[in-house]
A and B are shown apart, each in its own frame.
Chain A
Amino acid sequence: MSRFFANGSDSESESSEEEVQATNFNKASAFQFSDDEEEVKRVVRSTKEKRYENLTSIIKTIRNHKKIKDIPNTLTSFEDLTRAYQKALPVISKEENGITPRFYIRCLAELEDFINEVWEDREGRKNLSKNNSKSLGTLRQKVRKYIKDFEDDLSRFREAPDQESEAEDEVAAQDSDGGDAGDDSDVGVKREATEAAPKAAKSAPVKAAPADDDDSDDSIDWDSDSESETESSDDENQYQNMRERFLKRTTEKEDKDDDKRKDKRKEQKVKIRKRAEDDEDGEWETVVKGHVVEKPKMFEKDAEIDVPLVLAKLLEIMSARGKKRTDRRLQIDLLFELRDISDQHNLGTAVSVKIHFNIISAIFDYNQKISEPMKLEHWALLLEVMQSMMKLLLANADINMSESVAEEHEEYAAAPFFVRGCPLAAVERLDDEFTKLLKECDPHSNDYVSRLKDEVNVVKTIELVLQYFERSGTNNERCRIYLRKIEHLYYKFDPEVLKKKRGEVPATTGTSVEVMDKLCKFIYAKDDTDRIRTRAILAHIYHHAMHDNWFQARDLVLMSHLQDNIDAADPATRILYNRMMANLGLCAFRQENVKDAHHCLVDLMVTGKPKELLAQGLLPQRQHERSAEQEKIEKQRQMPFHMHINLELLECVYLVSAMLLEIPYIAAHEFDARRRMISKTFYQQLRSSERQSLVGPPESMREHVVAAAKAMRCGNWQACANFIVNKKMNTKVWDLFYESDRVREMLTKFIKEESLRTYLFTYSNVYTSISIPSLAQMYELPVQKVHSIISKMIINEELMASLDDPSETVVMHRSEPSRLQALAMQFVDKVTNLVDVNEKVFDMKQGNFFQRGNMGNRGDRGYNRNQNNQGGNWAGQRRGSGNRNRNQQRGHHKNQQQQHQQQQVQTIDEE
């Protein structure tokens, strides 16, 4: 709870944010500048303050003593207090019209109460030590005597004791501590204002008011400060123009604000309301006056305002930047005012641009912690300033703003103007802050949606900057701003693209794919930093994949050779790579390339943590806890919610494509010793369902796929299709695709084909011949298609059969091997494996092979020799030529697909 709320009225509703800020300041001060103390000492304080401080500190000690019933010390402190008050008396009479400060009265009253209480408690008094009871007597007498002078005040106080004495205590304490406990900016404001105020204006924010006003005084500062921060977050609609609020405040508005706040007050509603109204007059006057006072501070009253003067002033304001005691908010205000002044006096757009730019940096400065997002209203302000600056820049072609302009070459007087500054960096930071803001709020709330609406504005701003850099900017700068635009574009789906592909809209309509093409091609050609190009390629592929441009996307992946060196990239790029791969997989699936889809997704899914790999949320780690630092870094990397890829969809696509590949494969290699799993994850699912003693009807997506797989194993395509494509799965998964009907059709088609293959593999040993037309009928496929599928199986030697054309049947040749034969085959397989492994080992360790595995390998070699003798000398060419072909292909980049797609997915390991 804020300790600065003297009247403690608003604190309940508003405090949380305030508190954060307050602690921030304190923290900041704790770390910064070691010369803190000196600086504090240097500050000139008014006598009043000094005295008051003294008083409050003594009151505090008294209170402490009272708590532990240390009466002798209370006595000495009381004596100190009276003496201090005596000293302060001239100030009090001067400043407060002789009215005793309220806190002093309160102290006296409390003291009296305390004494009475102790005195009354006879039992307790008897137990007191001698020293204590003696002091108590003295104290009682002295207090009684002293109090007589304040009879009136006391009685008045007793009539209306403060509601929240605690709060005031705190204030007092803070006031006294203020000097050393990292005096926060608000007190600073007060002081500055106090100093700035001419002595004559006594009614200004000085504590000239009677004791009561002491509270309201504090609250004035707070009110003026806190409104801007808190209200607009309370209700954004209220927020209109920040600057307006800073400059002139109308009571009506405040009233309105008060009303709003009132709703949230829980206790003491009425009283506070009354107070607020009481305070209002005084309050408003002060603030307005404060600003009136500020203006002459900007410039001398009748100084002629011209460019150098404004620039000097700007320099003066900005030179305070980054210093410990600068009030950053005030700085922003001042800059706004300066801008208004320069506009009023027509000092030219260049100056205006310069001031704009400085406002931007001042707003950026306001937030000191990089990891935390800016406040929303600051960000909105920033956006507005940014846009107006870019509009100015675009409207005036003769202004050059860039980093390369040296300070001394700046030119404001005559065209062409030169201004130092970098809108690129500013817009990049703006964008980053926006992402942070998005990540800050709950993605399922309306908040997120309303914030996401600002995305349009961000894109607009980026567009403005882009226009500016297209007019004047180096290639590097253009690349950077292009990349920004790309990053806002690549994950958005544009239905126009597909319509255009089908020729539903005229060919001239611009689509996002074309924009991407243009931007990316520029970057490919002109970029000289590798990172921008890499990211552009990834985004480009992602965009293509999203719009079903499978071949383009695939070719880009293969030609960029990204798989080879993505390991070396930074985590953000690796995340983008993973996202791209996921999307490419989805695209391949939609485009009926099941195998490719599986290849793309397998690396993501096999780890079991696609969520983490795609930066869509943190998983709890089992082995070791993350340190706070690590967690913070990882959180920073997360994607904002609206860019997420649906994980269930991803998993489903992966499992289904694994099913389509794996089930026929299992059926074909049922007794094969060298059978390998195509997809580990799919196997796990299958096995875990097999382990269950009782399998109910499928509920989740995974269960559906497993059930479908089981149906497919017996070649029951209808059941399989029903498990994959049904109402539940539609809502869960398939409806997420843009053309879901087409995908479903495609799925059914594939299920039919693969079921047919599985059926043939599984049941070929019970047939001597099968009629093709009846197969076609069974699987509801055209005879042509069945014929083609069977032909393919025969050619690839998967099925030992041949077609009999006149009777339209498949004649099986398969003969079951005897046990000995089967064992021999298995044995041969194992031997072949051994040779394979040997070759692999040799390839791997070619360099330093002989230092290590010499002995162990000799045995192996001997073993092979024996095998060779047994096998005779049929040195066939088949395997050899096959190998050669494989090696030759390795060079062809497109043929490499298989190898290429076994890329290692990048685990986003922590650095």
Chain B
Amino acid sequence: MAQFDLTRINCQYLDRHLTFPLLEFLCGKEIYNQQELLEYILETVNKTNMIDYTMDTRKRLNLSQEMPEELVQRKAEVLATLKQLQNEVAPIMKATDILKNGESMKDSKTFVNALQKDYNFKLEHLESAYKLAKYLYECGNYQESTSYLYFCLIVMSPNDKNYLNVLWGKLAAEILTLNWNTALEDLTRLRDYIDSANFSTIQALQQRTWLIHWSVLVFFNHPKGRDLIIEMFLYKPLYLNAIQTMCPHIMRYLATAVVINRTRRNALKDLIKVIQQESYTYRDPITEFLECLYVNFDFEGARLKLHECQTVILNDFFIVACLNEFVEDARLMIFETFCRIHQCITISMLADKLNMKPNEAECWIVNLIRNARLNAKIDSKLGHVVMGTQPLSPYQQLVEKIDSLSMRSEHLAGLIERKSKQKNQESIDSWKYY
């Protein structure tokens, strides 16, 4: 299954610390050579200050039990630096603690004023707080890091050179502490900042690409994420552009999100357009599944692809949690499409197409009919499902064609009225000067 694995590509756009969960996840999947993977983890960890994690990895690699001299030294160093930084920040933090209880906490400006007035707060303090947060983060102490970063965010002006870094750091730390609600908040804040800041086109594209990758982590873990991911990836042109130019592989997550989101069926059409456009740069079983089902109406192909999809999803850290949902919804999709074009289906064929046993399939259909989601009857003598489709009567056609007219006309009329009012207002205003 290695050919559909995206970890390698995804890791390019993730923070070093964010890659650890992915890599650890892979360790459990046995797609790659365990040994190599661990070595790679060790290499990555060595670049951070997480000495304990290093030790742990070494252990797993069955390297010597003893701590190498170098590591001991580094540990001491790290601790020393940490101490020093903490000392620097300590007074200000104390002050913050005191202030936190007061009223001033609500508004960042008054807060800063209070700090400056009462506690002799200087910009250097802010700088060191930022450094400390970063250091803590590198040591793997995300929880503490977030609190410092929070402080930074409140005090810092958005023009500060570190502001963007703080935002990114905050998001990463929140993700790593699995604090999805705040992570989502931070994500929105970061996105607004990127969209409004004056980046050059290329820089902006890069920032967005990173943001897209990080946000996938949040979206698939936050309850509201499934709507938001569609909203952001598919309907925000800037982000869709970024996906198309920089990282078409994100289509997998977008497609998954659309499939498991029953309420957003109309997004499917747009998604398929995008998939078709990008089909030459990126394709995997999930996008191919949709293509088979909605472009070629090749149900046999869709069935095969659905089978492949299961393994792909099982091996993808981001969407592994949605496996069951995905399969269920994909089946429903196949069945819906089937019903739309068929008048009469044999149950055995249906079961075949849905990767189910005939009994199961029958049960499933019965459930669907009972829940009134399907207008059909089962003919158990022949083993058929007969759709209760009604041919579209001319009246219906007529109604369908004109039903939107009143809306549109009213809308237009409203616009015109508003305009005319405005005009009159203006002309009255201009008279006032005489």
Contacts and interface: CB of A to CB of B under 8 A. Distances in A.
A804 B409 CA distance: 42
Contacts of A806: 344, 346, 382, 384
B277 A880 contact: no
A878 B235 contact: no
Nearest to B281: A551
Given A795-B297, A835-B405, A875-B406, A825 B398 contact: yes
Interface in B200-247: 235, 237, 240-241, 244-245
A678 B426 CA distance: 45
Contacts, number: 160
Given A835-B409, A873-B406, A792 B416 contact: no
B416 A861 contact: yes
11 contacts: A788-B298, A802-B343, A813-B389, A824-B398, A831-B402, A835-B408, A838-B412, A861-B409, A861-B412, A875-B403, A876-B407
Contact of A879 (B343, B408, B413): B408
Given A850-B419, A895-B277, A794 B412 contact: no
Nearest to A793: B341
A854 to B, nearest CB: 8
A94 interface: no
A831 to B, nearest CB: 7
Given A871-B402, A893-B241, A888 B341 contact: no
A864 B402 CA distance: 11
A804 B399 CA distance: 28
A828 interface: yes
B52 interface: no
Interface residues of B, number: 55
A230 B297 CA distance: 73
B415 interface: yes
Interface stretch (B2-10, B119-127, B265-273): B265-273
B240 A892 contact: yes
Given A881-B266, A885-B270, A871 B403 contact: yes
Given A828-B402, A885-B270, A821 B237 contact: no
B340 interface: yes
B401 interface: yes
A813 B387 CA distance: 13
* Interface of chain A: mostly helix, strand, loop or mixed: helix
Contacts of A790: 341
B413 A861 contact: yes
Contact of A805 (B346, B392, B407): B346
Interface of B: 235, 237, 240-241, 244-245, 266, 269-270, 273-274, 277, 280-281, 296-298, 300, 337, 340-346, 349, 382, 384, 387, 389, 391-392, 394, 397-410, 412-413, 415-416, 419-420, 423
A902 interface: no
B392 A800 contact: yes
Given A800-B391, A835-B412, 14 more contacts: A795-B297, A802-B341, A803-B343, A813-B391, A813-B392, A835-B408, A839-B408, A854-B420, A861-B412, A867-B406, A871-B402, A876-B403, A879-B404, A894-B241
A802 B389 contact: yes
A198 interface: no
A825 B397 contact: yes
A790 B382 CA distance: 25
A815 interface: yes
Nearest to A811: B343
A630 B277 CA distance: 44
A222 to B, nearest CB: 67
A450 to B, nearest CB: 44
Contacts of A895: 270, 273-274, 277
| Residue among B337, B409, B413, B415 having the largest count of chain A Cβ atoms under 10 Å | B409
A33 interface: no
B407 A879 contact: yes
Contacts of A873: 406
A873 B408 CA distance: 12
Nearest to A864: B409
Contact of A874 (B235, B273, B399, B412): B399
A476 interface: no
Contacts of A32: none
Contacts of A888: 235, 237, 270
A894 to B, nearest CB: 5
B401 A867 contact: no
Contact of B394 (A825, A875, A893): A825
B410 A868 contact: yes
Nearest to B386: A804
B344 A829 contact: no
A811 B389 CA distance: 12
B415 A842 contact: yes
